[in-house]
Structure 1
Amino acid sequence: MFTGIVEELGEVISVEPAGTSGEAVLLTVRGPLASSDAGHGDSIAVNGVCLTVVELGEGTFTADVMKESLDRSSLGSLVPGSPVNLERAARSDGRLGGHIVQGHVDGTAVLLSRAPGDKWDVLRFALAPELSPYVVEKGSITVDGTSLTVSAVSDPGALEESFEVSLIPATLEATTLGGLAVGAVVNVEVDVIAKYVERITAVARARESART
């Protein structure tokens, strides 16, 4: 589990094919802090995707990225030199500074616009229709591994569904979101609590329907 509080801006060192099928890659990232106390099998979130450490180097770590992760996220577009947001798995005795983040990306979103302000930037992202029910104003969302508060959402059924987040200077400086250009693709994870509520409700309704 993670909290969405990015600890370090890392850099992709290499992206190498893994296995014979070509459907997975070995991703090596430079992240002195993230790798400082990591061990084989530990979890590190890279742009919000939970990856398992398979090898450690001097200030670097390597992780397997399977086809499911490549299909669901933007990790397949990473190249050597790409900056990435890094977060180590949360400690049970630590503070939950963001919100509960699993590192299981639900999909991607495209940056539609960014409006700079005196103290913050407002970023608007396209929202996939299947994720729209889980995103609410003042709720939590994870964008490229960064825990953010939703500042606005489009009306239900809008021609182009979207959500907005307002980024303070600290977030702009400490994450990749500060340099994000319009058209960029980011990883999105919606609030897991909303997904559980939907599932519980759906099961309850199905059982009630079966009894009638």
Structure 2
Amino acid sequence: MFTGIIEEKGEVVAIVKTGGGAVLSVRGPVVTSDAKHGDSIAVNGVCLTVVEVEDDVFTVDVIRESLDRSSLGGLAEGSPVNLERAVRADQRLGGHIVQGHVDGTAVLLSRKPGESWDDVRFSLSKELGPYVAEKGSIAIDGISLTVTTVDDESFGVSLIPTTLKLTTMGDRQVGDVVNIEADVIAKYVERLVAGK
């Protein structure tokens, strides 16, 4: 489990394609400070399992399912990525409950810079629409954010200076594809109400 509070912006240092999947190596001095084989680290919101740590670089296996359902397949050497270690039981939950199980992707539709924050709008698929609510939580590339507006085809968030500076969201441009994870509580409520 994660909180959506990004610990650092890392960098992809190598990608090796394997039979349908990939081996990804990422530089992240903060997240590797105590990382070991088997630990979970979210890369752009996707929960991945560490297979090796060497100095400040960790390596993970990425299966075809993760490449297909997220934006990880579009990464290249040098790509910046958001990194967060799994939350410990004795930590504060600063964002919201983020599983690292990406539900799909969205496209950045518009960006309106402001004096103190940027207002950003993303596409919204019909499948994810029911789980996105104004003032609700959403994880975009692993970042815990609050939905400011929503309609049938898109939703908006506001990005504060800290988010713009310390995450990849500060560099995202119109047309970029991002990972989306809807609030898990909304998914469970829907299932309970449907009686499934």
**Which bin holds the TM-score, normalised by the shorter protein?**
over 0.9
In structure 1, list runs of 5 or more residues that go unmatched. 205-212
Tell me, in whole angstroms, the C-alpha distance in 2 between the residues paired with 1:47 and 1:56.
19
Q: Write the deviation string for residues 101-138 of structure 1: whole angstroms up to 9, x where unpaired.
A: 00000000000000000000000000011100000000
Q: Are 2:190 and 1:201 aligned? A: no
Report the secondary structure of 1:52's partner residue. strand
Report the secondary structure of 2:68's partner residue. helix
Tell me, in whole angstroms, the C-alpha distance in 1 between the residues paired with 2:92 and 2:105.
28
Tell me, in whole angstroms, the C-alpha distance in 2 between the residues paired with 1:165 and 1:60.
32
Query: Residue in 1 aligned with 2:165?
Result: 173
Q: Are 2:151 and 1:163 aligned? A: no
Query: Residue in 2 aligned with 1:209?
Result: none
In structure 2, list runs of 5 or more residues that go unmatched. none
Query: Percent identity among equivalent residues?
Result: 68
The number of residue pairs the alignment matches comes to 196
Larger radius of gyration: 1
Q: CA deviation at 1:52?
A: 0.2
Task: Supply the AA of the counterpart residue of 1:101.
Answer: V
Tell me, in whole angstroms, the C-alpha distance in 2 between the residues paired with 1:84 and 1:72.
17
Task: Supply the AA of the counterpart residue of 2:5.
Answer: I
Query: Residue in 2 aligned with 1:191?
Result: 183
Task: Supply the AA of the counterpart residue of 2:181.
Answer: E
Tell me, in whole angstroms, the C-alpha distance in 1 between the residues paired with 2:160 and 2:30.
23
Q: Write the deviation string for residues 8-49 of structure 1: whole angstroms up to 9, x where unpaired.
A: 00000000023xxx2110000000111110110000000000
Query: Residue in 2 aligned with 1:33?
Result: 30
Compute the RMSD of aligned alpha carbons. 0.7
Structure with more of its chain in helix, by fraction = 1
Tell me, in whole angstroms, the C-alpha distance in 1 between the residues paired with 2:149 and 2:22.
36
Q: CA deviation at 1:198?
A: 0.7
For residue 69 of structure 2, the aligned residue among 57, 62, 72 is 72
TM-score in terms of structure 1 length: 0.91
